[in-house]
Amino acid sequence: MGRGGLTLTVAALTLVGGIGWALSAPVQSAPACGAITAFHATDGSITSVSVGNGPSGLAYDSALGMIYVANYGSDNVSQISDSTNTVVASVPVGAYPWGVVYDSQFSELFVSNSKSSNVSVVSDSSDTVVESVEGLVSPAGLAFDSRIGAVFVADLGSASVSIIEHGHHGLVVVNVSVGSIPIDIAFDSGMEEAFVTNFGSDNVSVISDSTFAVVATISVGTGPRGVAYDSAKGEVFVTDEDGENVSVVSDTTNTVIATIPVAGQPSSAAFDDHTGEVFVGDTGLNLVSVISDSSDTVVSKLPTGTAPIAVAVDSGKGELFVANLNSSNVSIIPITQPGTSSAGGGLLGLPGFEGYGVIGVSVAALVLVGVVASFWLHRRHPPRDAGTAGGPPTPP
């Protein structure tokens, strides 16, 4: 019996990456999606942009000023210009793309395709897939290590991390065993280590990029999922989705030094080095919690669409992009100086949201595998007793 009361036999379960995890589940419809609507805090203007179905992963391309959106429901990646907030390209990839990461050295994107069990390598100059890395089971979160030019991929289907050497696409250099159901990865450039959240074993594996070995295992809260590296303080922020908090880990001692209460289901995290804040997507309360890294407290909460599953900071424009899976939209939130107010005295004129403007992005016509809707309808929390055989936690 899963934590949310959904009973499934292991034999009936099949991993299909992030969202789909029980192919035998009854087919359900999900909310519609397809257009992005932007509300500019300065002038109230609205812009609509068509995108793919089910945005689930985000990455910022600093060279081109582009945001890439992995569309889980349409098996493609949308490229959004941050100067116009319009989609300028759509690239077909594998089945059920979960996450995406940008390689700043070779100007390429790596996209984890959770159902087709591979990683697509996309050139940002030609907007085409130039290579496919095979041999994974159910790839999920990714991180790029600029020091060695490698991509770390959390493979929740094999309880391991696959390290792909850039320059030899298609070659998985080494598979490193980690905890149960590894979901996401953040690379710590200061310590030259990758921090991997293991949702099923309630801990974080730390992998050295020089030895490709686990050098520490850190116990955190219940259901660790998202992770972000704070380069200013040398700390790693881990969202404990089932524990309703964020664990702050020192990368020098590899210990939890603070626990920040965050009600709901904190699922993703991103760090903004300009403001010294960590943005946490909360799929339970449909908002983004803003955490100050100086006080380790929540200083603001920003409303989003339904199930904000991924967050990414566009450092070039000073904006936060939020992928809202269940309402099939992406929110673009201009980040201003902390403590100052935008037009209207706060976010959409609401008290308690001072310091931020907002752009809402609405996406139309999402029909995913039936298990997506079944997941959200039948359980609030993912089963933790099924292990990798029982499928991954919340979509995707």
**Contact call for residues 96 and 64 (beta carbons, < 8 A):** no
The CA–CA distances, whole Å, from 70 to 38, 92, 186, 382 equal: 19, 10, 18, 22
- Report the alpha-carbon distance of residue 202 to residue 219 in Å, rounded: 6
Sign of CA dihedral 289, 290, 295, 296: positive
**Residues 6 or more apart whose Cβ sits within 8 Å of residue 150:** 144, 163, 164, 165, 166, 173, 209
Average pLDDT (344-363) is: 38
Report the CATH architecture of 31-51+266-363: Beta Barrel (2.40)
The residues that bridge with 322 in the sheet, in sequence order, are 311, 331
CA 60 to chain centre: 12
Length of the chain: 396
CA angle 302, 304, 308 (to 5 degrees): 110
Report pLDDT digits (tens) over 253-290: 999 999 999 989 999 999 999 999 999 999 999 999 99
Residue 383 has pLDDT above 60, yes or no: no
**Contact call for residues 390 and 8 (beta carbons, < 8 A):** yes
CA 58 to chain centre: 7
Q: What is the pLDDT of residue 202?
A: 98
**Contact call for residues 4 and 14 (beta carbons, < 8 A):** no
- Report the alpha-carbon distance of residue 214 to residue 55 in Å, rounded: 32
Assigned token pair, 387: 């292990």
- Report the alpha-carbon distance of residue 371 to residue 391 in Å, rounded: 11
Three-state secondary-structure class, residue 61: strand
- Report the alpha-carbon distance of residue 97 to residue 139 in Å, rounded: 9
Mean pLDDT of the chain: 77
- Report the alpha-carbon distance of residue 337 to residue 342 in Å, rounded: 10
More confident residue, 374 or 271: 271
Report pLDDT digits (tens) over 108-167: 999 999 999 999 999 989 999 999 999 999 999 999 999 999 999 999 999 999 999 866
Please, which pLDDT band fits residue 172 given cuts at 50, 70 and 90? Answer: confident
Residue 20 has pLDDT above 50, yes or no: no
Three-state secondary-structure class, residue 348: helix
CA angle 133, 183, 376 (to 5 degrees): 115
Residue 353 has pLDDT above 90, yes or no: no
The residues that bridge with 123 in the sheet, in sequence order, are 108, 128
Residue 5 has pLDDT above 70, yes or no: no
What percentage of the chain's residues is helix, strand, coil (to nearest 5)?
5, 45, 50
The fraction of the chain above a pLDDT of 70, given in percent, is: 70
Report pLDDT digits (tens) over 303-334: 888 889 999 998 878 889 989 888 777 888 88
199: closest CA among 371, 381, 4?
381
* pTM, to two decimals: 0.78
| HEC profile of 320-341 | EEEEECCCCEEEEEEECCCCCC
Three-state secondary-structure class, residue 290: strand
The residues that bridge with 289 in the sheet, in sequence order, are 280, 301
Assigned token pair, 24: 């035998």
- Report the alpha-carbon distance of residue 150 to residue 355 in Å, rounded: 37
Average pLDDT (362-367) is: 35
Phi, then psi, of 384 in degrees rounded to 5? -110, 0
Each domain of the chain, given as residue ranges in start order, spans 1-27+371-390, 31-51+266-363
